[in-house]
């Protein structure tokens, strides 16, 4: 999503509000079920363009327990600064980019602001760490891999192994145990 900010970038103190709905490009890290919708406000502080706002989207993710696909609503804040000064504090001219170290990756150049990557990154950061298909998800069987939400599997229940089972040999047999310890 590219925005022409010529009127804001050339006027310190200027403020511009923009509502947007944009379909982000397909991505292997972020699978969106619908376009991203939100609002941003761009403010010129004299040396920086402050971009603030919020956005909402619906992302397709995998359940952390059973691996099934689930859609979750994502609300993400937008907050970023872009310099409107070039190297040595000179105003940015045509063809100049802000990021001197990585000019190809600059989001603001020629008074055009490309928010696509910023929106993508903010959505990725706002995804839940352990999404669940439902709060009582039972997960999968560790032996056969069956989804336990669909019913029990045919695996025999293995006795729970404890890392302290080795210590059991240090305890004397209960028949030989001192009666005062019972």
At 91 the pLDDT is 46
pTM of the model: 0.66
Taking only the tens place, the pLDDT of each residue in 108-146 is 666 777 888 888 889 999 999 999 999 999 999 888 888
Report d(CA 125, CA 131) in Å as an integer: 13
Which strand ranges, in their side-by-side order, compose the sheet holding 36-44?
Answer: 15-22, 36-44, 48-62, 69-83
Residue 104 has pLDDT above 50, yes or no: no
At 93 the pLDDT is 45
Query: What does the domain layout of the chain look like in residue ranges?
Result: 1-182
Please give the residue that has the higher pLDDT: either 159 or 21.
Answer: 21
Q: Find the mean pLDDT for residues 2-25.
A: 83
CA atoms within 13 A on the CB side of 167: 4
Residue 173 has pLDDT above 50, yes or no: yes
């Amino acid at each position: 999503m590219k925005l022409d900010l010529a009127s804001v970038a050339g006027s310190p103190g200027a403020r511009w509000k923009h509502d947007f709905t944009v379909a982000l490009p397909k991505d292997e890290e972020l699978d969106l079920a619908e376009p991203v919708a939100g609002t941003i406000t761009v403010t010129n502080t004299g040396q920086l363009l402050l971009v603030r706002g919020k956005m909402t989207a619906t992302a397709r993710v995998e359940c952390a327990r059973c691996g099934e696909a689930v859609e979750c609503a994502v609300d993400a804040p937008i907050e970023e600064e872009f310099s409107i000064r070039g190297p040595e504090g000179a105003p940015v001219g045509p063809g100049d980019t802000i990021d001197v170290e990585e000019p190809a990756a600059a989001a603001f150049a020629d008074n055009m602001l490309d928010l696509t990557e910023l929106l993508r990154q903010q959505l990725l950061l706002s995804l839940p760490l352990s999404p669940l298909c439902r709060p009582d998800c039972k997960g999968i069987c560790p032996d056969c891999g069956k989804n336990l939400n669909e019913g029990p599997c045919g695996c025999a229940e293995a006795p729970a192994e404890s890392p302290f089972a080795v210590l059991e040999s240090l305890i004397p047999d209960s028949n030989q145990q001192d009666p005062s310890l019972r």
